[in-house]
Structure 1
Amino acid sequence: MGNSKSGALSKELLEDLKSNTKYNEAELCVWYQSFLKECPTGRITKEQFEGIYASFFPNADPTEYARHVFRSFDTNADGQLDFKEYIVALHLTSGGKTLQKLEWAFALYDVDGNGTISKNEIQEIVKSIFNMIPEEDQNDLPEDENTPDKRADKVWDFFGKKEDDKIAEREFIQGVMDNKDILRLIQYDEPQKIKDKLKEKKQ
């Protein structure tokens, strides 16, 4: 997509990203130069992506979560992200419009890609989120959500599902939009220090 190996973004890709992300032209150009510096081939591998996440969480283990995030954005399943996929990933994981973000969240939780979410998939993603939360911060969580299983149960109970039921995309998105508490439970809120590091990457 675009001039992934050249020193400048194609006009078409630039306009596409300006229209579909929160970044302006100057920011996108800086991101692109930074991307090429770290990934001269114009593509980022799963291992490189995990390495970037690891640098943001020196006191935790983001490997599993990074793997799931990578999967959700590797739309053609080739094991790499091009610049467009990378920027969309940054946009949606650090902001993005609510509907866009929830569509991505559904893709994140739909681990096997079959179009529905099971309780096991909820548990798998929630566990990967907990791996990124320092132990001292986990101790401050409410009693009914201070373990991965408790948090997954709380999400599942909200949807009123039996153990073997599934959640479809429309039901998932509507349910989360109707309850901000569930939105908080299904996502990882980046600490300010992580957001600051993202800003540093652009400079």
Structure 2
Amino acid sequence: MGHGDSRLTPSTVNEIASSTEFSEKEIQQWYKSFQKQCPSGMLSQIDFKVMYGQVFPNGNAENFAEHTFRTFDEDKNGTINFREFMTALSVTSRGSVDDKLKWAFNMYDVDLDGGITKDEMLEVIKAIYKMVGNRLLTTDKVTPQQRVDEIFSKMDKDHDDKITAEEFTEVAKQDPSLVMLLQTGGTEEC
């Protein structure tokens, strides 16, 4: 996937274009800024945190960047290559509702076992609160724990203290306001 070669070949451009919602021209433009950010062609978690820190200067984006990084890093090798970056960007910025929800589910499923526990959701929601700083917290006085309880009470249909991908998708589609709660701090960066 990386082959150690950070140059962008026409066949790679074509391949990324066919598997994402971006045109070849857009991919080439993104590649230029990606190369500027990380000349090695691989984005480390540290680079990623720096990037998020620039987007959210009023809060601490470190924890949220870790969760986002994990979700971008498809092959779990600890770095994000250009293809992984574009795939994730395509989903988060232009993907279908289903694609976005699948991506969000993967972010909340911290241990990747196919279900979201309250602890996992709390971890990510706390990270979001930290990242957006006090802006969000002044508008409503809901704590991360209350936020999680509210989302869980709607999503955990069978009350087994775990949200499956099916429960997550079904409820999020019926109740778009829940998706807003989950996406406070979505990925429109760069």
TM-score by length of 2: 0.89
Alpha-carbon distance in structure 1 between the residues aligned to 2:11 and 2:147 = 43
Report the equivalent of 1:45: 44
d(CA) in 1 for partners of 2:3, 2:29: 15
Q: Structure 2 unaligned runs (5+)? A: none
**Corresponding position of 1:139:** 138
Offset of residue 167 of structure 1? 1.4
Contact 2:108 2:121 in 1 (8 A): yes
Amino acid at match of 2:143: T
How far, CA to CA, are the matches of 1:80 and 1:2 in structure 2? 10
Alpha-carbon shift at residue 164 of structure 1 (Å) = 5.7
The aligned residue for residue 201 of structure 1 is none
The alignment partner of 1:111 has SS state of coil
Give the conservation status (yes or no) of the 8 Å contact 2:110–2:120.
yes
Q: Once the two structures are superposed, what CA deviation does each residue of 1:3-59 show, in whole Å capped at 9, x if it has no partner? A: 76344x233332232233332211110111221222122111011011111111111
In structure 2, the partner of 1:114 is 113
After TM superposition, the structure 1 = structure 2 runs for residues 47-196 of structure 1, keeping only pairs within 5 Å, are 47-141=46-140, 143=141, 146-160=142-156, 165-189=161-185
C-alpha deviations, 1:116-143, integer Å up to 9, x for none?
A: 11111111111111112231332113x5
Unaligned runs of 5+ in 1: 199-203
State the number of aligned residues.
190
The CA RMSD over aligned residues, in Å, is 2.2
| Native 8 Å contact 1:43 1:80 kept in 2 | yes
Answer with 15-24 or 26-35: which moved more.
15-24
Cα deviation code 1:144-179 (max 9, x no counterpart): xx2211111110011246876211112211121111
Q: Which amino acid aligns with 2:70?
A: R
